[in-house]
């Protein structure tokens, strides 16, 4: 069965209405074999979308947070019931292997559980007042409609990270998915609609799906009725969103590019390192923001480690991600292949040696052999994020210099070190160590859990999503003071008598 026909069958089971198909809409094409599942109608009236979200906010913010959490709990139940179908659709539309598709939907379920607990734990502070008979506190209030712009590589999980937190915080959600993955968005929204129907008293417009291209995202980002824009994608896209939102003094939560490195020291367990490198560098065909792109190895073990990686890469199963045993599926499209091919040529021009991989498979879809390139220095192509399975290998002899090399790129998302030295591990995690938002020891840079805040610094955008206190981005912070005395003392001892 073609990937497109399988996708159509899943959409029918998940209850996606036939009215989404349009002769002149956005093409829904599977990267597995290039087959077209149909065309998805573009959302016609973005002004009406913002109007509905604004009206929904005025109702939703009055509902107690634990009650709002009940909707997210029901969403988690619906996701559990539809996990296999939705995961399969992720595989068909984004090209992920089966276990990764299942893992992405599990991530959605996990953030539902996190958000349900959060709905009973949204907290503030009690602050000591200098004025007698006064009570000062800090609270968090619902913010307003939230626009979520998501990328193709995590077509549903990123929405869930944002939407589940926004909903329990009292905010309606507008979702503009990647035009490359509209089917998974339609399916997810159909699942959410079932949860909303069970919930019973959710306002119309609480969650809306916008199908459109870059222009739709730009128009919504510029709308002053949307106080927060959460955007995941390239640094180029993030810069445009940030400038648009800042021009109207709105908030932007940005999760952008990564150029993630692993330091491997002489004391490292190379068996563990090889496994971590393989998953981090080739998982999702190198199309994760947390993909391992730079391997910084001590020169005393570089030849040994590269030889082991070469052997592993030569046997990597590349092919249809639906097939058991396949570990590397397709790139999303021809544009991605052009970036892959161009980067390899530039790497060679800049002194690199392709150790293994780099070839395109002769089959329908865009399949490539993941590449390892040994580089003499951290040249321009190494400092640029290429969204494809290319691993650049550089060597070092001094640990502090290796950390400085890791930090000397524009991006700052994820990082890791493999070492059995407590001193090296702690130095890597110190204030003068990794400058990334995520820093790991003896774990690869890819595959974050939802309990921690996810995000990075510099060109990665500075945003934080998912766990910890990331929920605060979706709320309005307010300092409150109550005078329960019979006098009116002023702060700082100011006297003003009339």
**Mean per-residue pLDDT for 107-121?**
98
**Mean per-residue pLDDT for 179-203?**
97
Q: With pLDDT > 70 as the criterion, what percentage of the chain qualifies?
A: 99
Helix H, strand E, coil C: the string for 49-115 is HHHHHHHHHHHHCCCCHHHHHHHHHHHHHHHHHCHHHHHHHHHHHHCCCHHHHHHHHHHHHHHHHHH
The pair of structure tokens assigned to 127 is 């602050």
- DSSP annotation of 445 reads S
Report the predicted TM-score, pTM, of the whole model to 2 decimal places: 0.96
Establish whether 289 is a catalytic residue: yes
With bands split at pLDDT 50, 70 and 90, how would you rate the model's confidence at 498? confident
Q: Pick the catalytic residue from 70, 78, 93, 255.
A: 255
**Mean per-residue pLDDT for 428-451?**
96
Torsions phi, psi for 14 (to 5 deg): -80, -5
Contact 454, 465 (CB under 8 A): yes
**Mean per-residue pLDDT for 242-253?**
98
Give the tens place of pLDDT for each residue, 158-185. Answer: 999 999 999 999 999 999 999 999 999 9
**Cα 380 off chain centre by:** 25
Q: Please enumerate in sequence order all residues whose Cβ is within 8 A of that of 8, keeping only pairs 6 or more positions apart, or say none.
A: 37, 38
Give CA–CA dist 438/414, Å, rounded: 5
Q: Please enumerate in sequence order all residues whose Cβ is within 8 A of that of 167, keeping only pairs 6 or more positions apart, or say none.
A: 68, 71, 72, 115, 173, 206, 207
Report the mean per-residue pLDDT for the chain.
Answer: 96
pLDDT of res. 497: 84
Centre a 10 Å sphere on the Cβ of residue 395 and count the other Cβ atoms it contains: 20
Give the tens place of pLDDT for each residue, 201-222. Answer: 999 999 999 999 999 999 999 9
Torsions phi, psi for 496 (to 5 deg): -150, 95
Query: Does residue 19 surpass a pLDDT of 60?
Result: no
Query: Does residue 370 surpass a pLDDT of 70?
Result: yes
Of the listed ranges 26-40, 73-87, 232-246, 262-276, the least confidently predicted one is 26-40
Give CA–CA dist 22/212, Å, rounded: 13
pLDDT of res. 355: 98
Give the tens place of pLDDT for each residue, 38-60. Answer: 789 899 999 999 999 999 999 99
| DSSP string over 400-440 | HHHHHHHH-SSEESEEEEE-S-HHHHHHHTSTTS--SSEEE
Establish whether 112 is a catalytic residue: no
Give CA–CA dist 92/323, Å, rounded: 12
Question: Which long-range contacts link 74-77 to residues 24+ away (Cβ below 8 Å)?
Answer: 74/195, 74/198, 74/199, 75/112, 75/164, 75/191, 75/192, 75/195, 76/109, 76/112, 76/113, 76/116, 77/195
Give CA–CA dist 171/85, Å, rounded: 28
Residues across the chain: 498
pLDDT of res. 20: 58
pLDDT of res. 447: 82
Interstrand relation of 371-374 and 353-356 (parallel, antiparallel or unpaired)? antiparallel
b/e map of 421-445 (b: 16 or more CB within 10 Å)? eeebbebbeeeebbbbbbbbeebbb
| Residue for token pair 């970036």 | 339
pLDDT of res. 148: 98
**Mean per-residue pLDDT for 184-191?**
97
pLDDT of res. 18: 63
E strands, 187-313, are: 207-209, 228-232, 251-255, 260-264, 292-298
**Mean per-residue pLDDT for 100-112?**
98
Q: Pick the catalytic residue from 164, 289, 416, 436.
A: 289
Torsions phi, psi for 316 (to 5 deg): -65, 125
- DSSP annotation of 27 reads E
pLDDT of res. 260: 98
Q: Please enumerate in sequence order all residues whose Cβ is within 8 A of that of 437, keeping only pairs 6 or more positions apart, or say none.
A: 412, 413, 414, 453, 454, 455, 456, 457, 460, 464
Residue, of 25 and 432, whose pLDDT is higher: 432
Residue 483, by phi and psi: left (phi above 0), alpha (psi -120 to 50) or beta?
beta
Residue, of 159 and 37, whose pLDDT is higher: 159
Query: Does residue 17 surpass a pLDDT of 90?
Result: no
What is the enclosing helix (H) or strand (E) of 135?
A: strand 134-142
Give CA–CA dist 127/391, Å, rounded: 51
pLDDT of res. 310: 98
- Label residue 21 exposed, middle or buried (CB < 10 Å: 0-12, 13-18, 19+): middle
The pair of structure tokens assigned to 66 is 């634990």
With bands split at pLDDT 50, 70 and 90, how would you rate the model's confidence at 225? very high
- CA torsion 268→270→273→275, rounded to 10°? -160
């Amino acid at each position: 069965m073609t990937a497109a026909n399988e996708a159509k069958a899943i959409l029918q089971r998940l209850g996606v209405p036939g009215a989404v198909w349009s002769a002149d809409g956005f093409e829904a094409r599977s990267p597995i074999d290039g087959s077209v599942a149909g065309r998805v109608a573009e959302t016609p009236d973005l002004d009406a979308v913002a109007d509905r979200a604004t009206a929904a906010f005025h109702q939703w913010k009055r509902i107690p947070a634990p009650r709002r959490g009940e909707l997210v709990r029901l969403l988690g139940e619906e996701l559990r019931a539809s996990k296999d179908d939705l995961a399969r659709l992720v595989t068909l539309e984004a090209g992920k292997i089966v276990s990764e598709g299942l893992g992405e939907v599990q991530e959605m379920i996990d953030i539902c559980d996190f958000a349900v607990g959060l709905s009973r734990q949204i907290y503030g502070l009690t602050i000591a007042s200098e004025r007698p008979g006064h009570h000062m506190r800090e609270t968090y209030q619902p913010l307003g409609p939230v626009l979520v712009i998501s990328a193709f590589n995590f077509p549903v999980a990123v929405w869930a990270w944002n939407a589940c937190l926004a909903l329990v915080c009292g905010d309606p959600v507008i979702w503009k998915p990647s035009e490359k993955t509209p089917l998974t968005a339609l399916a997810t929204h159909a699942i959410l609609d079932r949860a909303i129907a069970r919930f019973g008293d959710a306002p119309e417009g609480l969650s809306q799906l916008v199908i459109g291209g870059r222009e739709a995202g730009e128009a919504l980002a510029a709308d002053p009725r949307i106080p927060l824009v959460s955007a995941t994608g390239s640094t180029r896209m993030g810069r445009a969103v940030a400038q648009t939102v800042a021009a109207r003094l709105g908030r932007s939560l940005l999760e952008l590019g990564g150029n993630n490195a692993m330091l491997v020291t002489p004391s490292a367990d190379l068996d563990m390192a090889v496994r971590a490198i393989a998953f981090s560098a080739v998982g999702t065909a190198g199309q994760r923001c947390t993909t391992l792109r730079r391997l910084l190895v001590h020169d005393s073990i570089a030849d040994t480690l590269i030889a082991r990686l070469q052997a592993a890469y030569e046997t990597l199963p590349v092919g249809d991600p639906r097939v058991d045993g396949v570990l590397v599926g397709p790139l999303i499209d021809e544009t991605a292949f052009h970036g892959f091919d161009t980067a390899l040529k530039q790497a060679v021009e800049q002194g690199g040696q392709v150790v293994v991989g780099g070839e395109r498979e002769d089959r329908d879809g865009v399949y490539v052999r993941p590449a390892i390139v040994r580089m003499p220095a951290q040249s321009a192509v190494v400092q640029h994020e290429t969204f494809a399975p290319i691993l650049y290998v550089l060597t070092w002899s001094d640990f502090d210099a290796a950390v400085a090399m890791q930090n000397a790129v524009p991006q700052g998302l994820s990082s890791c070190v493999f070492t059995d030295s407590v001193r090296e591990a702690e130095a890597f995690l110190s204030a003068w160590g990794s400058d990334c938002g995520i820093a790991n020891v003896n774990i690869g840079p890819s595959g974050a859990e939802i309990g921690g805040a996810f995000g990075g610094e510099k060109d990665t955008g500075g945003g934080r999503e998912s766990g910890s206190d990331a929920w605060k981005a979706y709320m309005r912070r307010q300092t409150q003071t109550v005078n329960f005395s019979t006098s009116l003392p002023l702060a700082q001892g100011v006297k003003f008598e009339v």
